[in-house]
Chains A and B, each alone.
Chain A
Amino acid sequence: MSMNEQYASAVGGANELKEGRSMEAYTDLAGTDHAEVSKDRTREKTVGKPLLESAKMSTRNVKVFYDDKQVLFDVNLDIGANEVIAMIGPSGCGKSTFLRCLNRMNDTIDSCRVEGDLTLDGQNIYDPKLDVVPLRARVGMVFQKPNPFPKSIYDNVAYGPRIHGLVDHRAELDEVVETSLKRAGLWEEVKDRLHQPGTGLSGGQQQRLCIARTIAVSPEVILMDEPCSALDPIATARIEELIAELSENFTIAIVTHSMQQAARVSSRTAYFHLGKLIEVNDTEVVFTNPQHKLTEAYITGRFG
């Protein structure tokens, strides 16, 4: 992946990348029995509380197809301002696909078609006239594998504010870099080596660098696709701590395979199964007394 492509996926650049992420999208679908999915298209209502009175992002009847294969079925979900919502479910359930719809990352996959209404503050994000670059600055994304640019720590964070023209002069940029690194909990560790390459940091530090890069453009929503799966428990704990702090200012949607992580960091949890949104409830309900038997089976490890 070229640097610009990486950037497109990280904070929303001008380049529509045509490959790169697409392999991952398909791997996520591996293992799904598509025949079974298409056989069972009856509309089942999501149990719990998928909708909110006021939502930061709203999705209605979202359907996603890869070529003629439907992988998401009528997802209706609201994401509230400043909430942390976790999306869980077995591989191939559509949770990552859904997450990637929220900042149109699926646009980068030729065969992918998204239907339904998706809005950010009431504005249709799939409006053909809408420019995805500012959208991805408003809805940022952090990926599974930390992907810092082969640039200095400073330039990694400064890249977004520079290309989006958010700063006028050097002092202002310095301040944005410092604030972002502080918010990402990385400042103390890197303040004396800001001009060394970001790739020289440890995995956990790199991931916090990517989070700093994401928040440097002041997004409103941060999407996280398994942000800790490549990290050790200590780095994971740091990121989780960070998620709690960031939720004061940002809305966060996180896809995770670690159910304990979902239980720890989120206030609401959405459970996906074979492309359907099965249950959305307060996290405490989902992990103590889930309403749907599929949710229960998944979180208690009862799938054979």
Chain B
Amino acid sequence: MDKLSLDKHISRQFNSDLEGLKTDLLEMGGLVENQIADAIRCFEELDTDIAQRVIDNEDTIDELEVTIDEQCTLVLAKRHPAASDLRMVLAVAKAVRDLERMADEAQKVALMAIALAEDGAPARNYPELQNIGNGVLAMLRHALDAFARYDVEMALSVVKDDQAVDLEYKAALRELISQMTKNPSSISKVMNVLWAVRSLERIGDHARNLAEHLIYLVKGKDVRHVSLSEMEKQVHQ
């Protein structure tokens, strides 16, 4: 099935425990992906209904985080996993935390959309937000694909994309600051956009974390806090 052979244990129950962790992680990832997509949409259209839905769905994601964490604890307690199995459980436990934080950030974007709508701001395209939003959505999708296929190359591409998003974020900041300087009366509205853009950028950081957890899972190498070139070197060693 995969190069980690998670389905090759003597104990079939252990196989299904680990499979279950992965399936649940990917399911949670799918939900978070929807949340982010909805958050971006509600912001563009200043649609408070969608925004409210994003806020309501947040509970489901919190519950999933707790459930998957519990499953990880149980596997640790019952199976004493070692080597790649141990890394699998640790990577999943860390990944759900990042997913939950991403959903938190999506919720913040939705809250900013509501604030803007209540402020009577016109629905208009926010190109900065759209670019970054699409960028981080793709990062999350790729990070989840990397988990599904244990694909370290794809994980590396997510890290690369994060650098591009960071650059866009800086450009967006400059643009928003110049808008505020030109038109001080717009400051409160532009600040809402700025918070939303910042939340999206944070989502990108969490997607990068997911990619790093996946590299740890597959390669057993801890690549947090290292440069991209160092990461590539370690992965291809």
Contacts and interface: CB of A to CB of B under 8 A. Distances in A.
Contacts of B84: 296, 300
Contact of A302 (B5, B80, B87, B220): B5
Contacts of B221: 289
Interface in B15-39: none
Interface string B179-211: 000000000000000000000000000000000
Contacts of A290: 83
Nearest to A260: B80
B83 A287 contact: yes
Most buried by B among A289, A295, A304: A289
A304 B14 CA distance: 13
Contacts of B10: 301-304
Interface in A220-262: 259-260
Given A260-B80, A288-B220, A289-B220, A302 B8 contact: yes
Interface in B73-111: 80-87
A25 interface: no
B82 A259 contact: yes
B11 interface: yes
B14 A299 contact: no
A263 interface: yes
B236 interface: no
A287 B82 contact: yes
Interface in A280-304: 287-290, 295-297, 299-304
A69 B81 CA distance: 35
B4 to A, nearest CB: 10
- Main secondary structure, interface of B, reads loop
B221 to A, nearest CB: 8
Contacts of A300: 9, 81-85
B9 A301 contact: yes
B144 to A, nearest CB: 24
Given A288-B220, A289-B220, A299 B83 contact: yes
Contacts of A297: 8
Contacts of A260: 80
B217 to A, nearest CB: 11
A263 B5 contact: no
B212 to A, nearest CB: 16
Contacts of B9: 300-302
B14 to A, nearest CB: 7
Nearest to B14: A301
Contact of B83 (A288, A303, A304): A288
A263 B81 CA distance: 12
A259 B82 CA distance: 9
Interface string B223-236: 00000000000000
Contacts of B87: 288-289
B6 to A, nearest CB: 9
Given A288-B87, A289-B220, A299 B8 contact: no
A263 B82 contact: yes
Given A260-B80, A300-B81, A288 B86 contact: yes
Interface string B56-70: 000000000000000
B78 to A, nearest CB: 12
Interface of A: 259-260, 263, 287-290, 295-297, 299-304
12 contacts: A260-B80, A287-B82, A288-B220, A296-B84, A299-B83, A300-B84, A300-B85, A301-B10, A301-B11, A302-B8, A302-B9, A302-B10
Report, nearest first, the 10 A-B pairs whose CB atoms are least far apart: A289-B220, A299-B82, A302-B8, A287-B82, A300-B85, A296-B83, A301-B10, A301-B9, A300-B83, A290-B83
